[in-house]
Amino acid sequence: MAGFSDAVVADRSLTFHVGGTALFGPAHDIVVRRVGSSGAVQAHIALADHLRDLPGFAADEPAHWRRGYQPHITLGPAVVVDEGDTLRATRVGLARIDGTFAEIVGVVDIG
Q: What three-state secondary structure class fits 37?
A: coil
The string of pLDDT tens digits covering residues 46-72 is 888 887 888 887 777 777 777 888 888
**Distances, alpha carbon 88 to alpha carbons 24, 29, 60, 94, in Å:** 22, 26, 27, 17
The string of pLDDT tens digits covering residues 10-36 is 667 888 899 999 988 777 888 889 998
